[in-house]
A = this chain, B = another copy of it.
Amino acid sequence: MTENAKTIDDFLRNCEPKLTESATYLLKPFLSVVSLPKKHVLVKEKQICGKVYFICKGASRSFYLQNGVEVHTWFAFENEVIGSLRNFNNLPSRENIELLEESVLIAFDIAGIQTLMQENIEVANFVNVTILEYALFMEDKFFDLHMKPSNEKFSALLAHSPEIFQRVPLTYIASYLGISRETLSRLRAK
């Protein structure tokens, strides 16, 4: 989507696909910058939050509760978009999103952008490309998680998202991979 945006203007200037003056002018009212502390909860399970966020700086974890235990679904860092896609269809989120670090985010108002999409083909195609990217990203995750022996799942994650192992506690990663934290610790020892 965009690389290393620090402000709304950065974001709109550098985003992919490129936007014309008129499209950025239309989009701008629906974007805002927010600074939030570690452990802030952006999205709550079973609720509709109405926003998606681009991470300028920081990190987040996504997880849902299953019989009282946290099951992790992903971790995001700079230049990634977080927030439930289900918002676009007015479906409640299935996961919580919490900040792992102090963060700076750009918030997008979904309802406003969806209205724009009906009128402006450039905005429609911009969102289109972003959602397509997300779908392809989900496919990648699906393939990696589908790997059978635990050590291959571990290797796939390490190969495709090494940053996770630098910035996320092992316990959360184990929960994402569907293995116990002890097993992950032992796998990593090799």
Binding site for B on A (CB under 8 A): 71, 73, 85-86, 88-89, 91, 94, 117-121, 124-125, 127-128, 131-132, 134-136, 138-139, 141-143, 145-146, 148, 178
> Which residues of chain B are within 8 angstroms of A127 by Cβ–Cβ distance?
128
Kindly state the separation between the CA atoms of A67 and B117 in the bound complex, as whole angstroms: 45
Q: A135-B131, A135-B134 are in contact. Are A146 and B146 (CB under 8 A)?
A: no
Q: From A142, which residue of chain B is reached at the shortest CB distance? A: B142
Q: A142-B145, A145-B142, A145-B145 are in contact. Are A125 and B132 (CB under 8 A)?
A: no
Other-chain contact of A131, B94, B131, B141, B148 (Cβ < 8 Å): B131
